[in-house]
Structure formats: structure tokens, C-alpha cells
Amino acid sequence: MSRELAAGLSTELREVLEPLFKEIESLNEHIQEYDQRMEKIAQEVYPEVSLLQQVKGVGTQIALTYVLTIEDPYRFAKSREVGCFLGLKPGRRNSGESEPQNKISKEGDRYLRTMMVQGAHYILGPFGEDSDLRRWGQKLAERGGKNAKKRAVVAVARKLAVLLHRLWVGGEVYEPLRNSQKTMRAVA
């Protein structure tokens, strides 16, 4: 990319920026090398990573971070507890008739929570594959309000964490439109 940018610049500017372009190329090469090393570690040492990568939006980095952070999936009695463990559950403060929803607790591992949110952004974004999780998140985002999209992303991140745990423990094959297919069968 840096060569393409350099071609459109004036000679003086290109001479000044040449060291910066070389540094960018060097960094890109290092990133590719680390990505390959991470792929190799995931395949050889952590085979459960491939189970988690069935979900579109979960790459090697997210899956490997999930496996290394959770360590033992059987320490949770229910998969729903993983969302709370990561601090993705909103707090509640009941006061008489009103039940306002507070911000998420942000307890637990910050990096894995960030990875889950990035995965949720991909799922809800323009490149996300059609799935029950995506449809559910879009329905939440359509409710409106100034923070609807943000709340939907966090909710999808929480559900994604639960889904990954369920896949890991059960060793199941992921079906993106599982609930939709059940509905279609019931109607037929």
C-alpha cells in the first residue's frame, strides 16, 4: 500500500516520506509473521479454537483469546455465566415502578471483553453473515433511542460469549440459522 501512495506524491514529498513507508512495510511483515505463528499455535496446541471459529466474525485471535482466558470451560455451571464473568451484563437498579438499565459492570478480563465487542461489531456490520444472532441484534438496534446500536452490540457480544462457550463444551456444529429453521418447520 505504501508504494501505491508514494507513486501519487511529488518527488520532494516522496523523498521525505520514504523512511516512513519502509517502516510501515516492515511492520506489516511482522504482523503477517505473528499472525502465521498464532495460526500455527492455535492448530497444534488448542484444537478447540477451530470449534469457535465456526461462527463468522470469530477469527483465530478472538477464539484463541477466549480459550486462553476461560481456560476450563467446565468451571461454569451454565453457559450464561460467561457473559457475567466478562462483565457484559448490564446492572439493574429497581426503584418502585421504574426499572432503569445501568451500564455494564466491566468486570472480568478487559481484553477478551474488547474482543467479544469487536466480534459483535463484525456480526452486526455490513460484512456479517445472516444468522439468528445477527437478526436478534438488528432487532434490538431498531428499537431506537440514541444508544440503541451500542446496546445491541454489547448484547450481541454477551450472546456471542455464551454461544462460544456452548460450542466449546458441547463440541457441536454451529448452525447460523438454527432458530429460523425451527420456526419454518413448525409453520410447515
CA 130 to chain centre: 15
Q: What sign has the CA pseudo-torsion 19, 23, 24, 26? A: positive
pTM to 2 decimals? Answer: 0.81
Rounded Cα–Cα distance for residues 59 and 54 (Å): 9
Positions in the chain short of pLDDT 50: none
| pLDDT recorded at residue 1 | 55
Nearest-angstrom CA–CA distance, 112 and 51: 17
Looking at residue 123, its pLDDT comes to: 95
> Strand ranges (DSSP E) for the chain?
90-92, 101-104
Structure confidence at residue 2 (pLDDT):
64
